[in-house]
Structure 1
Amino acid sequence: MNNTFFKRVLLPGFILQSVLIGGGYATGRELVEFFLSSGPLGGLLGILVATAALSLISMISFELARITQSYTYRRFFKQLLGKGWFLYELAYLALGILVLAVIGSAAGRIAADHLGIDSNIGTIALMMAICALVAWGTKIIEKVLAGWSFLLYVTYGVFVYLYLDKHGGQLGEQLFAGSIESDWFINAIKYVGYNIAALPLILFCVRHMSTRQDAMLAGIFAGPLAMIPALIFYLAMVASSDQILAAAVPSDFMMQQLNAPWLQAIFYVVLFGTFVETGTAFIHAMNERISEVLVEKKKSMSKQLRAGLSAIVLIASVYLAGSVGLVGLIGSGYGNLTWLFIAVYIVPILSWGAYRVFFKTQSIEIKQQFAK
């Protein structure tokens, strides 16, 4: 079972999609900001570019991680950036605080607005679910994230089908209506710039890859698997693009237009689950980074320690960050974080990383053999 095609090739893409959607396009707001704002066709082109870029970066990253046995972001960036590896960690911690604070707030809002319970209960339920998952470690996380991804695909598929059936009669005309804004390409690159920060968090999946072909295929599939829900959601949004551009939360507007309470309840339960997935990925990466240091010191990380550290980080992110204005501070510099991730990850992986993968593979593997 450890060497099945699913685990070697498809699992990384499903887990990447799990991480991206909760912190990003699940409500549609991100799709408006980066794609629909460039015009319906410009946004579609942007999604295709973003998908291709995610695949390319994933291919090189997975293979570099495989041949250097770098299954945590700490070890991976030591291979990619050398002594400058901590630059990614600083950016990751800043982004992590922001993302955890945002999903904590969003979980509370969903609980209050759509499930009819107190917002604090929603936030606490989110934190408990994340702590429970990270305490059980990588194998359980892989199964839960992959399983929830399938559920999400089904839910989004039904949602988009029903919405287009009711409002998509002129989708073809709407898709090609209007002009393509000149910023469509740079918006796609910016989208990839900060979303790609999640890729090193899922390198634990690379353990299942045994050959270069595995890594390359996994990378090729990662982009489409991560972006297909975004694409079908985007096409539904195009059907009502004028109204959605002005909507604070596009998914709320679309659900109101559908007037299907049963689907709304299912959708927001699934959406809540995506927040759990995203939070779990960020916290699990932190735990794996700490565990790696403990292993180097001949120690191990217990389930209790994993859960305890997770709870501390979540509480600090959700409550303290908001009270001291840190979320606003980081949020105002979110664009700068995007360019930072481009500088410390995308540029190095497409240059030095690609060179090591395609031209220095043999020397890397020899070093690994001597290190064993």
Structure 2
Amino acid sequence: MSKQPFLIAMTFMSIIIGGGFASGQEVLQFFTGYGLIGVAGTLVSGLLFAFLGMQIARMSSSLQARSHKEVLAALFGRRAGLAIDLVLSFFLFGVGVVMLAGSGSIFAQQYGMPPLFGGVLLSVLVVATLCLRVRGIINLISAIMPVLLLLVMTITVYSFFASDASLESLNTASGEFATISDGWPVSHWFIGALLYASFNIAVGFPMLSVIGGLTSDTRQAALGGILGGVGLGVLIFLLNIGLFANLDRLVGVEMPSLMLANALSPAVALAMSLALICMIYSTAVGMFFAFTARFATPETSRFKVLSVIFTAVGLLLSQFGFSALIGTVYPMLGVVGLILILALGYRWHTARREARMRLARSSY
């Protein structure tokens, strides 16, 4: 078998697994907070990731797309595709803001420093990277992904078996997560799972479109999307059960994975905090780069000035808090993702109908 499907799968997973996932906050809000039924939600999201990954990779491969704009144009037409692209860019900026807030939460929870310190530090690093083109740093940070995943899985699996909380107490604790966020109540686990898949697809759509376009074999591309989606489903499932087993200790915690790491060992907690900072940094650079590139050509003076301005604005907005921003920005981004899901589903249905019609004509 070709290595291409596995490369696509790993890239797909790397896009989706950012600071919000590794911190445990995303999974806590969109799955664990619903109680034991949240496990069913992880299965729904996993299936959606597999289907959507297959569709995006296959479409971009058949179009030989060099940019996600080509896929959007094929789905919605040029004008509507441009509108979706602009809205998507705006919310990607919101994800960058969430990453700045996440950095502040790590320094506050792990090191007892003001959240503003972590936000300012990450902002400086992001601006320096965008202005100085420190590409080697980004490559180095991306290499932390396997270490981060190993840490998260080790911590959650250990926490699951070490937990002595009763199922009754855990279900009681889940009642305190009745809504995903203030102002955006999501009272049903299925809607939470659908929103989680949709906002993540919106975030990963641009890069997955480019990666799928690198291969001319549509079947290999589709297989890569499926494998990546299944892998994501497994990771979400494992993290969810680890968090649920300790839910009574996680109410109001900004960085659930970090708290579980502290219970395991101070050294593991230190390693986890550093890995989270690296992952959040990598995600923030990607989001602010994509947003700034909409208004200026990369590596120009205008691009550098705008990157400073946009990051500074993001720092101000990040003071609303990590968990509050995840519960606000991500569901809104999820609406954009839902539009993508509907368009991809319609495209899949249309392609299958046309294939059946061609088969019927050839049989005569």
Fold in common (TM above 0.5): yes
Q: Does 1:316 align with 2:313?
A: yes
Alpha-carbon distance in structure 1 between the residues aligned to 2:72 and 2:138? 22
The 3 A distance-change label for structure 1 pair 81 and 250 is same
1:308 to partner: Cα distance: 5.1
Number of the residue aligned with 2:41: 46
**Structure-1 separation of matches of 2:80 and 2:44:** 29
CA distance in 2, matches of 1:157, 1:233: 7
Any residues of structure 2 matched to 1:205-220 within 5 Å, and which?
A: 205-220=211-226
Shift in CA distance, 97/284, structure 1 to aligned 2, threshold 3 Å: closer
- Equivalent pair of 1:31/1:230 in contact (CA under 8 Å): yes
SS at the partner of 1:65?
Answer: helix
Cα RMSD, aligned residues only: 4.1
Matched, 1:107 2:64: no
SS of aligned partner of 2:66 = coil
Shift of 1:124: 4.0
- Structure 2 match to 1:350: 345
2:242 to 226, 236, 247: 236
Say whether the 8 Å CA contact 1:22–1:275 is kept in structure 2.
yes
Cα distance in 2, alignment partners of residues 330 and 153 from structure 1: 21
Aligned AA for 1:236?
G
Displacement of 1:334: 5.6
1:297 maps to what in 2?
none
Q: Distance in 1 between matches of 2:7 and 2:259?
A: 32
Question: What code does the residue aligned with 1:270 have?
Answer: A
Quote the Cα distance in structure 1 between the aligned partners of 2:300 and 2:293.
Answer: 12
Paired position in structure 1 for 2:81: 85
Sort the Cα spacing of 1:324 and 1:106 in 2 relative to 1 into closer, same or farther, 3 A. Answer: closer
Give per-residue Cα distances to partners, 1:62-91, cap 9 Å, x unaligned: 111122233333332122111211332343
Per the TM alignment, residue 55 of structure 1 is displaced from its structure 2 partner at its CA by 1.2
Question: Structure 1 pair 139/15, CA: closer, same or farther in 2 (3 Å)?
Answer: farther
Q: Greater CA deviation, 157-166 or 50-59? A: 157-166
For 1:279-298, what aligned pairs fall within 5 Å after superposition?
A: 279-286=284-291
Report the secondary structure of 1:70's partner residue: coil
Say if 1:348 and 1:29 are closer, same or farther in 2 by CA, change over 3 A.
same
Q: Match of 1:273?
A: 278
What is the TM-score normalised by the length of structure 1?
A: 0.74
Residue identity over aligned pairs, in percent, reads 20
Alignment map for 1:49-68 (pairs within 5 Å)? 49-68=44-63
- The runs of 5 or more residues in structure 2 that have no matched partner are 179-186, 356-364
Contact persistence 1:52–1:223 (CA under 8 A):
yes
Q: Which amino acid aligns with 1:25?
A: F
Q: Is the 8 A contact 1:91 1:337 kept in 2?
A: no
Taking a change above 3 Å as real, the CA distance of residues 191 and 119 of structure 1, as seen in their structure-2 partners, is: closer
User: 3-state DSSP class of the match of 1:209?
Assistant: coil
How many residues matched? 339
Whether the 8 Å CA contact 2:92–2:203 is kept in 1: the answer is no
TM-score, with normalisation over the residues of structure 2? 0.76
Alpha-carbon spacing, 1:215–1:45, altered in 2? closer, same or farther (3 Å): same
CA distance in 2, matches of 1:22, 1:63: 24
Q: C-alpha distance in 2, partners of 1:354/1:304?
A: 46
CA distance in 2, matches of 1:322, 1:95: 14
Amino acid in the other structure paired with 2:152: Y
Map residues 240-255 of structure 1 onto 2, 5 A cutoff. 240-245=246-251, 247=253, 249-255=255-261
Q: Aligned-pair distance for 1:190?
A: 1.8
Rate the CA distance shift 1:147–1:306 in 2: closer, same or farther, 3 A. farther
